[in-house]
């Protein structure tokens, strides 16, 4: 008696389905990324648990200074003291101001 062979599996429909799902996910990701500002002053990742600015938080300050925001505005949006914003502003100027190299992508 001969063993029955399993039916041939055609991977093309499955691969097509995966490609369509990936394309849909990329479109969705693009829509969501447009809604999220990468350097959001209110983002909790901008501060350590001790309240100090992280590298992302410092870069967020510098980008706001790049945009011409005042120290007062940066202090309010970042929820930091005016003295801390002044310190970041002076550091921003020392590293080149608007012509500086950004710290993060």
How many Å apart are CA 48 and CA 57, to the nearest integer?
9
What digits encode the pLDDT tens for the residues 41-71?
888 889 999 989 999 899 999 999 998 999 9
How large is the average pLDDT for residues 71-83? 95
- pLDDT, the chain, mean: 86
Q: What is residue 1's predicted lDDT score, i.e. its pLDDT?
A: 61
pLDDT of residue 33: 67
> Tell me: domain 44-99, CATH 1.10.10, correct?
yes
Residue 87 above 90 pLDDT?
Answer: yes
Locus of tokens 């510098």: 62
DSSP 37-78: -TT-TT-GGGB-TTS-B-HHHHHHHHHHHHTT--HHHHHHHH
Annotated domain spans of the chain? 44-99
């Amino acid at each position: 008696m001969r063993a029955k062979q399993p039916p041939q599996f055609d991977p093309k429909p499955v691969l097509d389905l995966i490609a369509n799902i990936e394309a849909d996910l990329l479109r969705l990701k693009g829509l969501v990324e447009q809604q999220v500002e990468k350097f959001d002053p209110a983002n909790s990742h901008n501060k350590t648990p001790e309240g100090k600015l992280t590298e992302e938080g410092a870069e967020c300050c510098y980008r706001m200074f790049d945009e011409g925001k005042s120290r007062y505005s940066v202090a309010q949006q970042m929820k930091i003291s005016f003295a801390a914003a002044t310190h970041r502003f002076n550091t921003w100027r020392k590293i080149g101001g608007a012509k500086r190299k950004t710290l993060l992508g």
